[in-house]
Amino acid sequence: ETGVTQSPTHLIKTRGQQVTLRCSSQSGHNTVSWYQQALGQGPQFIFQYYREEENGRGNFPPRFSGLQFPNYSSELNVNALELDDSALYLCASSVAGRYEQYFGPGTRLTVT
Amino acid sequence: EDKVVQSPLSLVVHEGDTVTLNCSYEVTNFRSLLWYKQEKKAPTFLFMLTSSGIEKKSGRLSSILDKKELFSILNITATQTGDSAVYLCAVLTGAGSYQLTFGKGTKLSVIP
């Protein structure tokens, strides 16, 4: 098991609502990346945070936003939820400049 | 657009069989190729391959990378029911900010 934790485990929201997901990185890791994994698909890169700033972004609209805090933990915010946002959201922590990324258990988001 | 293709998408074998999972890629700014095992939620790290032709081994699992032909294989010998999972191949790309591009995964089912 990695030291990456995520909360909540499961979440059900209604279309149009907003959601915040949280991630605590593994001890000593200063970079957090977020991924979206739809059912039956591989994870897709949303964005990465390093030194509290966004440091790379995938093909996701601006309603997906994030934060990183001084203790390296991170939040993913999604506004104006759509049905297609239903997925497993994974965060991965790493050390800047190192290649290995270690994943948390994920948050399962269901949008109805 | 970066692309990672895994084959087969699913595989059913009997305990004791040997399996080979394939991963091919077309990306820019290649840094490394990583294999993960995903049983329920969190992908767990198996291997990272950066150099061609050097086999990585961990118990019954081994993997090798061919950077000229742009592919990697993951071998599992003497399969056990506990090997049943989705195996994800991901390529790390980027300069300054590193992101993983995943394939869709190979679902391996090992039956007694």
Q: How many CB atoms lie under 10 A from the CB of residue A8? A: 12
Distance from CA of B31 to the nearest CA of A (A): 8
Residues of A in contact with B98 (CB under 8 A): 48, 56, 94, 99
How confident is the prediction for chain A on average, in pLDDT? 93
Give the Cα separation of A4 and A22 in Å (integer): 11
From the list A48, A94, A106, the residue facing B41 with the nearest CB is A106
Q: Are A32 and A49 in contact (CB under 8 A)?
A: yes
Instruction: Find the mean pLDDT for residues A24-50.
Output: 93
Q: What is the pLDDT of residues B9-20, one digit of tens each?
A: 999 999 999 999
Across the interface, whether the CB atoms of B34 and A99 are under 8 A apart is answered yes
Q: What is the pLDDT of residue A95?
A: 86
Q: What is the pLDDT of residues B26-81, one digit of tens each?
A: 999 899 999 999 998 889 999 999 988 889 999 999 999 999 999 999 999 999 99
Give the Cα separation of B112 and B29 in Å (integer): 42
Distance from CA of B55 to the nearest CA of A (A): 17
pLDDT band at A1 (very low <50, low <70, confident <90, very high): low
How distant, in Å, are the alpha carbons of A16, A38, A39, A59, B6 from that of B66?
A: 46, 29, 30, 28, 15
Highest mean pLDDT among A7-16, B46-55, B97-106: A7-16
Q: What share of chain B in percent tops pLDDT 70?
A: 100
| Closest residue on chain B to A38 (Cα) | B104
Distance from CA of B78 to the nearest CA of A (A): 24
Q: What is the pLDDT of residue B46?
A: 94
Give the Cα separation of B9 and B22 in Å (integer): 10
Q: What is the pLDDT of residue A5?
A: 94
pLDDT band at B25 (very low <50, low <70, confident <90, very high): very high
Q: What is the pLDDT of residue A86?
A: 98
Instruction: Find the mean pLDDT for residues B99-106.
Output: 95
Distance from CA of A9 to the nearest CA of B (A): 10
Highest mean pLDDT among A33-37, B52-56, B97-101: A33-37
Q: Is residue A30 packed enough to be buried (19+ CB in 10 Å), middle (13-18) or exposed (0-12)?
A: middle
Across the interface, whether the CB atoms of B41 and A40 are under 8 A apart is answered no
Across the interface, whether the CB atoms of A42 and B4 are under 8 A apart is answered yes
Torsion of CA A74, A80, A85, A86, to 10 degrees: 90
| Closest residue on chain B to A35 (Cα) | B100
